[in-house]
Amino acid sequence: MATIVLKPDTNTYQKILSYYQGFAEKKQVPHAQLFAKKGTTAVTIYNSGKVMFQGPAAEKEAQQWDSSPQASNASGTATAAKKKSAAAKPGLPAGFSQLSVIGSDEVGNGSYFGPLVVCAAYAPKEKLAELKALGVRDSKELTDLQIKQIASQLEGLIDYQLLVVTPEKYNAVQPKYNAVHMKVVLHNQAISLLLAKIAPTKPDAILIDQFTPEGNYRKYLAAEKNQVSEKIYFITKGEQYHLAVAAASILCRASFLNELAEESAEVGLQLPSGAGAKSDQVASRILKKGGLELLGKYAKLHFANTQKAQNSLK
């Protein structure tokens, strides 16, 4: 069954919505304004501004509305550019973007305040068109508000496993585990738990947004009891090669933002993301308020920001 997803301009979107009102079905589709059936073609009009056409005549039906080159055949092949990119990337099978994949990513590793969050998300091939229609893509291209909105929509759509390491927990284990080792442990655990959650279903592949060379990852993995080592691929900017990584990235970021907001409310200060000068200033205020013990509840103490904040108080 062919699937076509369009992202029309606002004017065309309204025309599509008006046109298919006459073909509307009673079926309720999450996050959609309208579900319609015209002949053998199902049309889903999403709140995100995207429109999905499904059925043997989907391409023909979509063509009358497509005035841009942005449409993609989500059940067959991606756009020519994306297909070429995936096929040309060393180590990834041809057509990788259309497989059922577990993707994993992390957020918070470079932020002084807030937790380290790792997420593994399973995007089966039959859900890829819907994920695209919801606006799932690289979280760096989305605003914080968009990330939170899409994350809430993903919760009932796909299976995923979040692991949140609070600053307090991070500081407790950091002397034993360096940053890379810690992330290897967390990615492996998240993927392992997700595999158990979706069993007996098995993904076609597992894609980790690469943060260290594969050999280094497997070196640290060797020390783990429950090792997930088969069908794993490592690619930087993994969200460009499969929506599973993009979904994991969005879920990670949303969780990080929520945790940071809760910690800010608890300490009574706005905790910034990142590790810049603003973080130094906030750290100094927390040190004045409750010393290193209080700071350790909200910050990753091995960062250079801690020493800078201490020096500023001398």
Would you write out the chain's pLDDT as a tens digit for each of its 314 residues? 678 899 888 778 877 887 787 788 888 888 888 888 888 899 999 888 899 989 888 888 888 887 543 344 444 333 333 434 433 455 788 899 999 999 999 999 889 999 999 999 999 999 999 999 999 988 888 889 999 999 999 988 999 999 999 999 999 998 888 888 999 999 999 999 999 999 999 999 999 998 888 999 999 999 888 899 889 999 888 998 999 999 999 999 999 999 999 999 999 999 998 888 899 999 999 999 999 999 999 999 999 899 999 998 87
Q: Domain boundary residue among 237, 260, 283?
A: 260
Give the ranges where the chain is alpha helix by DSSP (H): 10-19, 58-63, 80-88, 128-134, 144-154, 167-173, 179-198, 214-221, 243-267, 277-295, 304-313
Q: Domain boundary residue among 260, 278, 298?
A: 260
Confidence (pTM): 0.74
d(CA 151, CA 221): 29
Strand-strand pairing, 41-46 and 51-54: antiparallel
The helix/strand/coil state of 183 is helix
Q: Are residues 232 and 89 in the same domain?
A: yes
Q: Are residues 230 and 103 in the same domain?
A: yes
Number of domains in the chain: 3
d(CA 89, CA 87): 6
Q: Domain boundary residue among 39, 73, 107?
A: 73
Q: Are residues 98 and 180 in the same domain?
A: yes
Domain enclosing residue 293, as ranges: 270-313
